[in-house]
A and B are shown apart, each in its own frame.
Chain A
């Protein structure tokens, strides 16, 4: 089956610093990847759609200058949380689109901003 990895699996950082999260499709190519955020006991909320070779498309209310997305290759998308603050602490999950519509999800990255 299609496998998606994320790195790191968890990260703790100081307020004001930037954190980069990687999402990789290991055994397939994905022109489209998605980034989600999930707060405790809540559902997944789509943050943005990452398209290989073009700018990401952000959902309403998501600050594109704060959550920088780069999709430089067919197997890698990165999410950078810039100037992180405690309210950015969350579980960040990516997915990669395999084929026409099937999304495979990564294991998630837990971010804690102190």
Chain B
């Protein structure tokens, strides 16, 4: 099924704190997952990806965790900065799916000084 967002949940954090953004994906056959950051009026920007043969992947200040058992994906941002304020989307795809991405509903991250 497809995930369609009718509203955007908001996560408010203090600058310097760690942020955790969660995503429930829809297709148990999905084997590739990506997190995107979208600032107002701009296109999505790639943050980090993970394949289904992994449980965790780390980047610079970001970590993605994948729990295939419950079809759950999370993005952890360490030492959140004001520049991290944006809407974050998870996306999923599966082999044989013609590289189509299905986007989650999105979460707005608001970082307060």
Q: Do chains A and B interact in one complex?
A: yes
A34–B44 contact, CB under 8 A? no
CB-CB < 8 A to A93: which residues of B?
43-44
The B-contacting residues of A in range 65-114, CB under 8 angstroms, are: 91, 93, 95, 97, 100-108, 110
Complex Cα distance, B4 from A101, in Å, reads 22
Complex Cα distance, B100 from A97, in Å, reads 10
Closest to B102 in A: A46
Among B49, B98, B100, B104, which residue has its beta carbon within 8 angstroms of that of A43?
B104
Indicate whether A103 sits within 8 Å of B101 (C-beta atoms), given known contacts A43-B3, A43-B106: yes
Closest to B32 in A: A101
Chain B interface size range: 20 to 34
Among B32, B44, B98, which residue has its beta carbon within 8 angstroms of that of A105?
B44
Nearest Cβ distance between residue B32 and chain A, in whole angstroms? 6
The A-contacting residues of B in range 61-77, CB under 8 angstroms, are: none
Interface centre among A41, A43, A91, A97 (most CB of B within 10 A): A43
Q: How many residues of A contact B (CB 8 A)?
A: 26
CB-CB < 8 A to B99: which residues of A?
32, 34, 49, 97, 100-101, 103
Chain A-chain B contacts (Cβ-Cβ < 8 Å), number: 62
Q: Is the interface of B mostly helix, strand, loop or mixed?
A: loop
A105–B104 contact, CB under 8 A? no
CB-CB < 8 A to B100: which residues of A?
34, 46, 49
The A-contacting residues of B in range 59-113, CB under 8 angstroms, are: 89, 93, 98-106
CB-CB < 8 A to A54: which residues of B?
none
A45 interfacial contact with B, CB 8 Å: yes
B1 interfacial contact with A, CB 8 Å: no
Complex Cα distance, B5 from A21, in Å, reads 25
Among A43, A102, A105, which residue has its beta carbon within 8 angstroms of that of B43?
A105
B98–A45 contact, CB under 8 A? no
B89–A43 contact, CB under 8 A? yes
CB-CB < 8 A to B32: which residues of A?
101
